[in-house]
Amino acid sequence: MEHSFFSLIYKTKERKDLLSFHALGEVIKQLDAQWLLHAPKTDWLAYITDDLDTIRYREEAFADIARHPALADLCAQCAEKLDAIDALRRIKEGQQTNETMLYSIKEVELYLDLTALLKDALDPLAKDLCSDSFKGLYTLVKRECESEEYIALKEGVSKLSRKISGIRSLTVGINLDANLTPYESGILSINEEYFHAGDLISRFMRLEEKNEMTTLAPLYVTSKSFTPREAQALNISVNEALKKIVSSGLRGWQAMLKKYFAMNTAHWLSLLPEFHYLADGARIIENMKALKLPLCTPTACPKEEKRFSARGLYNPALAEKLRQKNPSEQIVENEFSFDEKGMLYILTGPNRGGKSVILCAVGIAQLMFQLGLPVAARQAEISPVECIYTHFATFSDSTVGKGRLGEECSRLKEMFARLSEYSLVLMDETLSSTDSFEASVIAGELLQALSAFGCRGIFATHLHELSQRTNELNAHPKCRCKIDNLVAGVEQNGKRSYKISRSAPDGKSYAKDIARRYGLSFENLLVENARRIKEEN
């Protein structure tokens, strides 16, 4: 039976995975998204795409799972059965023995279990399915189950399975000479029930019911009766006899197996990673819903629109940690967008005021969107990007010889060499390795270059003087997109609100608040010193 192209996570045969995402593993690490995208069976990095049709196709599949949670369990069960089929195929590759024949039989049984599982689960949901993914899966299963080849295979397997699975014991005949010494033996029959242990005395005393499957006495292979070579010879002869019997029983399966492989069932194995993908994605969604975290399916916009607009946006990595500790913890939500007034943002605000949190929230939302997953927001409209680049203030051993600023500049140069106008750039405390004057000058050059490239991005920084230069930076004739300011909010009492707003910064870092919290204010240090001197005296 020939099968047309079908995929659970791709709309067309041409798969458009975004494999060019540079150093994406490092990006996920810096965005603190490992917990979110960790799945032992799914390599998320291999599935990020900028193809709009693929994104929408996956969004619809996850929307069906959200409406019918049983679909998540179905995907997990199908993946488990296909994993077993895949393992059996690997074991019997290139071998032709009775054992591999038995593996093939088990493979056919697993295939029949798989199709029956899918049909039973999807039949009652068929009319309510909305995604092309699950509607296509149901059509595939229904067509296969109704085909003549499948029906014949199912009936044939049922008959042959009873013969093979019904073998419970063998009847062995042994000829004896005049001295009661065995000189010839053979297998007399194959039985569908187990024999029962008995002994000669109990049979004579009629304590056991007369039963052909009750032994007169058990046989033991002992060193007194047989030499090791004789015992080995006995085992070999019995095993060889069994092989002949099994082989004759398996011959009837050969036609069934040929019919099975002629049905081109390889298309099911091609769906194995896709079942894992949907099951693991559903698990992420289920975990977030269990913590009562809002999710939405974004409106997918064309890449050329460079759209990112979100209401109720939050960082799911942080929210998960907070809700695990305290289920009633209030999660701070923000509104954020890239638009004609600001495609590049200088994000300033107090220490520990939420700058890194919103930076990661934007990056994680973009990743989840390009996987086709719901995003951590109440409403969103997003365009795909060709790549996400992060530059966080981290330093490695390669700093030796270059200095910290040298390493930062080296990493930035490498990043800029790969940028396109459809890149998303997220920078956190970039250029913190040098003084504020030099950092402000270099940062201004970087932002103007990003604007000339047409990129979207956020530059989170303590360089408040940089945020006063937006008009100057935007005045460059080669700038293609506007640079604007974002500020991490602070209430009148200096308390962090973790709210992000588009406004001019007040130029304060509120570092004194943190110093006071840790007892590092001038007054606290004097008091502590006086107390220490008093205690010593």
Band (pLDDT 50/70/90 cuts) for residue 57 is very high
Q: Which residue has the higher pLDDT, 83 or 89?
A: 83
Predicted local distance difference test score (pLDDT) of residue 397: 45
Predicted local distance difference test score (pLDDT) of residue 174: 80
Select from 3.90.228.20, 3.40.50.300, 3.20.20.70, 3.10.20.30 the CATH code of 296-506: 3.40.50.300
Q: Please check the confidence at residue 211 and state whether its pLDDT lies above 90.
A: no
What rounded mean pLDDT belongs to the chain? 80
The continuous run of DSSP H or E covering 42 comes out as: none
Q: Which two tokens stand for residue 451?
A: 């604007």
> Is residue 501 classed as helix, strand or coil in its secondary structure?
strand
pTM of the model: 0.77
The identity of residue 309, as a single letter, is: S
> Is residue 168 classed as helix, strand or coil in its secondary structure?
coil
Predicted local distance difference test score (pLDDT) of residue 150: 85
Q: At what angle do helices 272-290 and 316-325 cross, to 10 degrees?
A: 50
Band (pLDDT 50/70/90 cuts) for residue 483 is very high
* Nearest to 299, CA basis, from 379, 387, 385: 379
Q: Which two tokens stand for residue 65?
A: 């799972």
**Cα–Cα distance for residue pair 278/272, rounded to 1 Å:** 10
**Cα–Cα distance for residue pair 355/395, rounded to 1 Å:** 20
Q: Please check the confidence at residue 431 and state whether its pLDDT lies above 90.
A: no
Please state, as a whole number, how many other Cβ atoms lie within 10 Å of the Cβ of residue 31: 26
Q: Please check the confidence at residue 238 and state whether its pLDDT lies above 70.
A: no
The continuous run of DSSP H or E covering 275 comes out as: helix 272-290
CA angle 455-459-461, nearest 5°?
Answer: 170
Are the CB atoms for 454 and 421 separated by under 8 Å? yes
Please state, as a whole number, how many other Cβ atoms lie within 10 Å of the Cβ of residue 372: 26
- When mean pLDDT is compared across 22-26, 71-75, 301-305, 430-434, the lowest value belongs to 22-26
Q: Which residue has the higher pLDDT, 350 or 363?
A: 363
Are the CB atoms for 71 and 64 separated by under 8 Å? yes
The identity of residue 197, as a single letter, is: A
Please state, as a whole number, how many other Cβ atoms lie within 10 Å of the Cβ of residue 530: 10
* Nearest to 487, CA basis, from 347, 368, 318, 305: 347
* Nearest to 341, CA basis, from 466, 474, 477, 505: 474
Write out pLDDT tens, residues 378-391.
Answer: 999 999 999 899 88
**Percent of all residues in the chain with a pLDDT value above 70, rounded to a whole number:** 72
Predicted local distance difference test score (pLDDT) of residue 222: 54
Predicted local distance difference test score (pLDDT) of residue 535: 75
**Cα–Cα distance for residue pair 480/161, rounded to 1 Å:** 71
Predicted local distance difference test score (pLDDT) of residue 131: 96
**Cα–Cα distance for residue pair 482/470, rounded to 1 Å:** 9
Predicted local distance difference test score (pLDDT) of residue 401: 41
**Most confident segment among 23-32, 196-205, 221-230:** 23-32
- Beta partners for 456? 424
Question: What does the buried/exposed string (b/e) look like for 274-302 if buried means 16 or more CB atoms within 10 Å of the residue's CB?
Answer: bbbbbbbbbebbeebeeeebbbbbbebbe
Alpha carbon distances (Å) from 532 to 227, 490, 521, 527: 89, 35, 16, 9
* Nearest to 388, CA basis, from 411, 409, 365, 410: 365
The identity of residue 46, as a single letter, is: A
Domain boundaries, the chain: 169-258, 296-506, 509-537
Q: Please check the confidence at residue 102 and state whether its pLDDT lies above 90.
A: no
Write out pLDDT tens, residues 162-200.
Answer: 655 666 777 777 887 777 777 777 777 767 777 776 555
> Residue 527: which region, alpha, beta or left (left: phi > 0; alpha: psi -120 to 50)?
alpha
* Nearest to 3, CA basis, from 275, 257, 267, 272: 267
